[in-house]
Structure 1
């Protein structure tokens, strides 16, 4: 369709705790919206009171239970030229919150979609976790059922990226216990609770230790950051990877014999290879 006459869908990030973190544009968008679709209209009212902003447009609810039915209504308003602002309880719409269905429908109709960047529990937790943040994977909420949860964790057990999860207070102990079983008891993690709020708390330690702590009961909004899988040592590697490591040492200036010896020693120290297997028996290393 021709989107020239269409309105705009605005995904507005909201504070994850402290209202003072709200970006100035959030006030502008809420005040100027033709329609504000809110995950919880009561929370929206508290937020607008805290921001001292008056919403003059129509306010409708848009949550998991009604988003399928309400999406066509909002798309119709957008096609009619309305500026629709979507807000969820905290953070960015569509990120483990309602929004994806409406965004997909708007894109399909050629309706412009933009966003008001705001606080993010994912990025905030990563920043304070003390774990590597150069590469990470957001996994959202784990399945409620134990078997499905374990299966999901196994899918990423070997992922070297830092992993980020959301979890409910009443399930956090079980989730951490499952992580310790699948990822290993000593895998480092951080449980970030009530970020930016009065009782903010960040617990760091091995997964098994954190699971024991959580067994006593944890309250509040929770984000879990888990260290990625360790890089495998030479003993855990396929012959092709051993060849690659030798080649990398050669490229760095080592002589071939020295490079082979260095990789072999690393493997022998792990107790899984003999020097002659690496230096003579592997393709490309003789």
Structure 2
């Protein structure tokens, strides 16, 4: 064993542990073992996580690691890890770092050469996607949209021509406004699926065109409660046509300011993946 190996073997491990998003049966046997074995659990909300640990008779000490203290207080966890103690990072529900705290602690741990080990498990976006019946080979996760309507619509406009399946988290008190803005920006005919209270007693998975989904939620106050995931179909070009999204148009326009038409179209095709001939025709239109 080298000196470096000896040092590394004396350092603890940071485990990033997924916990249930509702149904406690979804926790893995490995997660339970890790939570029992580590010296400390870094939790988003210690009061919330204490109930989870009590249910499984886990007596490992808890310490707060949330968005308001993670940057400044992460050093105390790193000190424990460097002293040889292993630490488990958990959020209130699901996989840490996915619209939850943990990124700064993981980054600090890696910078300190601490081993970081994922312990996979429940994740609301994956649960919603696998049951939505929408294309899952390519998708993007946008997390929470801006809370105010102006910012929310602006972000949706940027995604309007995105061809991949879109996944959003939304708070229950904003879900109706969110669906209204999506119907307005994406078009009421765009198909979406609302996943609400996933894995819990009142789990809902409702798929419909956005306009109909908005009306359905507006008519039932119960659908405006609980944790929400919205999965939206990506933008599809009209039958027999191929579209050029806003990003490709922007790239082409910038290149046309510096390059001849043919070269600009070729470079834009390499950058965006859009067919060169399609971009060439668009470039000719721009120039004319």
* Normalised TM-score (structure 2): 0.78
Which residue of structure 1 aligns with residue 256 of structure 2? none
1:54 equivalent to 2:58? Answer yes
Cα distance in 2 for residues equivalent to 1:225 and 1:91: 18
Cα distance in 2 for residues equivalent to 1:157 and 1:4: 50
Which residue of structure 1 aligns with residue 111 of structure 2? 108
1:63 equivalent to 2:66? Answer yes
Which residue of structure 2 aligns with residue 228 of structure 1? 234
Matches within 5 A, 1:1-286: 3-51=8-56, 53-56=57-60, 58-216=61-219, 217=221, 218-234=224-240, 237=243
Residue 39 of structure 1 deviates from its aligned partner by 1.1
Cα distance in 2 for residues equivalent to 1:223 and 1:165: 6
Structure 1 residues 237 and 7 mapped into 2: Cα distance closer, same or farther (>3 Å)? closer
Cα distance in 2 for residues equivalent to 1:103 and 1:236: 42
Q: What's the CA shift string for 1:66-115, capped at 9, x where partnerless?
A: 22222111111111111010111111100100100101111111111011
State how many pairs are aligned: 238
In 1, are the aligned partners of 2:20 and 2:93 still within 8 Å (CA)? Answer: yes
Cα distance in 2 for residues equivalent to 1:64 and 1:237: 40
Cα distance in 1 for residues equivalent to 2:242 and 2:130: 31
Residue 23 of structure 1 deviates from its aligned partner by 0.3
Q: What's the CA shift string for 1:233-257, capped at 9, x where partnerless?
A: 455657xxxxxxxxxxxxxxxxxxx
Residue 232 of structure 1 deviates from its aligned partner by 4.5
The Cα RMSD (Å) is 1.9
Residue 50 of structure 1 deviates from its aligned partner by 2.5
Residue 3 of structure 1 deviates from its aligned partner by 3.8
Task: Classify the secondary structure of the residue corresponding to 1:208.
Answer: helix
Residue 152 of structure 1 deviates from its aligned partner by 1.1
Q: What's the CA shift string for 1:102-145, capped at 9, x where partnerless?
A: 01111111111011110111111011112111111111000112
Structure 1 residues 63 and 237 mapped into 2: Cα distance closer, same or farther (>3 Å)? closer
Residue 206 of structure 1 deviates from its aligned partner by 0.8
**4+ residue segments displaced more than 6 Å:** none
Which stretches in structure 2 are left out of the alignment for 5+ residues?
A: 245-280
Which residue of structure 1 aligns with residue 272 of structure 2? none
Q: What's the CA shift string for 1:142-167, capped at 9, x where partnerless?
A: 01121111111122111111111000
Which residue of structure 2 aligns with residue 248 of structure 1? none
In 1, are the aligned partners of 2:237 and 2:243 still within 8 Å (CA)? Answer: no
Task: Classify the secondary structure of the residue corresponding to 1:81.
Answer: coil
In 1, are the aligned partners of 2:94 and 2:122 still within 8 Å (CA)? Answer: yes
* Normalised TM-score (structure 1): 0.78
